[in-house]
Amino acid sequence: MVRISVLGMGYMGLPTALFLARAGNKVTGIDVNEKRVEELKQGGLPFNEPGLHELFAEAKNNISFSTQIPESDSFIIAVPTPVNDFKPDYSFVKAATKSIALVAKPGNLIVLESTVGPRACEEIVLPLLPKGVRFAYCSERAIPGSTLKEMANNDRVIGALDKESFEAAKSIYSGFVKGKILRASLLEAELAKLVENASRDNQIAFANELARCCDELGANARRVIELANHHPRVSILSPGIGVGGHCIPVDPWYLIQGVKDAPVMRTARESNDAMPYHAISLVKELVKGIESPVIAVLGLTYKENVDDDRSSPAREFAKACEAEGWKVHCHDPLLKESSFEEAAKGAHCLCFLVAHDEFKNVQLTKLASLVKSKNVFDARGMLDRAAWEAAGFKVKVLGDGK
């Protein structure tokens, strides 16, 4: 039985630890947060993902949880790497690496999964590790909402220090990864991860820009995108109120800050960050003339059907509403933040920001009697416009050109 310590019991570290345990390794899930460790020891999950409960049940005989790192054959670091003031913050990675260095022996494998900037493995992590260890960088690519499926099925890039490090890391990951395992240098693997997310950020910025263009020109952006996507080499994404989560708004900065010149990526980042304020300007039109408007902000997570509101543009939108002097009622079915009815009651404008499945079955007749003015803003083109208009609502969809 290979003994593996996974540091960081978050959205990626916990599922990884459970997959490794289910594959037959003896796994210790480590976290500095004692409360989280206690919760996991009791069998509780700190967040939800499809299939996570089942995986936990299947893995539980091979996993234990602790705040202390035991002697292990391999160590995986899956701690946050936030960006503060647009600069990478490696404090968690450094702390985790130093704590591993206290127990690691020559021949042990250390894998860094946390996203880092170009050459951080070589310049920041490796110098903190003892001589003679094996080292690989293997960031995850799974998408929240489908984490377990993607963790098992996506191809995986392993940036390795040397051949022995690659083989050691490959033998661990091949225990649960069904996709291809690709060998790369440390720098190539660092860049591949950053480029994946920067590319998506750019694509979303393009879709958001089209929404703004179409609002100016009087065309429906979603229809234009649908038509353009019939071209065999065009695949435009969907506009929304911006890009949130713990990865896409953060990762491009690692790249932008690591080089002299990256104007396209920088502009995409800034443009996506500006979307909540663009959305506010559209809502302003809806509530024009209303004294002290009450705004219902519906959907607070960073995207649909996840319970994660880190760096959520919907939260930014809510803050910006308050800064306008408007009264704000917030609700999210997945964060259990107030009820839909409470948020809608007395509102002059309902703002649907995140396309949660729960919002598809809103009862319009009941709602019409709760609100004060029948205005609705739809940031994701998720509502049945005809039904809302038939119920007497004035509807503005981001990018509908109306």
Residues near ligand SAJ (CB under 6 A) are 140-144, 196-197, 200, 204, 207, 237-238, 240, 243-245, 247-248, 302-303
Quote the tokens at residue 120. 């951080």
Q: How far is the CB of 59 from ligand SAJ (least distance, A)?
A: 21
Decide: 290 and 394 in contact? Cβ < 8 Å: no
Smallest CA-to-CA distance from 72 within 2, 134, 131, 165 is with 2
**Please, what's the largest Cα pairwise distance for the chain?**
71
**Which residue, 28 or 197, has its beta carbon nearer to ligand SAJ?**
197
**Which residue, 62 or 238, has its beta carbon nearer to ligand SAJ?**
238
The verdict on whether 351 is a catalytic residue reads: no
Helices 263-273 and 275-286: angle between axes, nearest 10 degrees? 30
Three-state helix/strand/coil letters over 220-278: CHHHHHHHHCCCCCCCCCCCCCCCCCCCCCCHHHHHHCCCCCCHHHHHHHHHHHCHHHH
Q: How far is the CB of 360 from ligand SAJ (least distance, A)?
A: 16
Q: How far is the CB of 46 from ligand SAJ (least distance, A)?
A: 17
Report residue 259: phi and psi, to 5°.
-135, 170
Q: How far is the CB of 99 from ligand SAJ (least distance, A)?
A: 23
Of 121, 138, 214, 247, the active-site residue reads 247
Q: How far is the CB of 222 from ligand SAJ (least distance, A)?
A: 11
Burial of 42 (0-12, 13-18, 19+ CB in 10 A): exposed
What is the 8-class DSSP label of residue 47? S
> Which residue carries 């909402």 as its tokens?
145
Of 193, 303, 374, 396, the active-site residue reads 193
Q: How many CA atoms lie within 13 A of 129 on its CB side?
A: 28
**Which residue, 133 or 300, has its beta carbon nearer to ligand SAJ?**
300
**Which residue, 73 or 140, has its beta carbon nearer to ligand SAJ?**
140
Give the separation between CA 259 and CA 282, rounded to whole angstroms: 36
Report how far apart, in Å, the C-alpha atoms of 390 and of each of 151, 372, 385 are.
44, 17, 8
**Which residue, 133 or 189, has its beta carbon nearer to ligand SAJ?**
189
Quote the tokens at residue 254. 């690692």
Give the separation between CA 370 and CA 107, rounded to whole angstroms: 66
**Which residue, 122 or 150, has its beta carbon nearer to ligand SAJ?**
150
**Which residue, 73 or 316, has its beta carbon nearer to ligand SAJ?**
316
Q: How far is the CB of 70 from ligand SAJ (least distance, A)?
A: 27
For residues 180-213, b (16+ Cβ closer than 10 Å) or e, as one string?
Answer: ebebbebeebbbbbbebbbebbbebbebbbbbbe
Give the separation between CA 264 and CA 256, rounded to whole angstroms: 10
The verdict on whether 247 is a catalytic residue reads: yes
Q: How far is the CB of 197 from ligand SAJ (least distance, A)?
A: 5
What residues are annotated to the active site? 193, 247
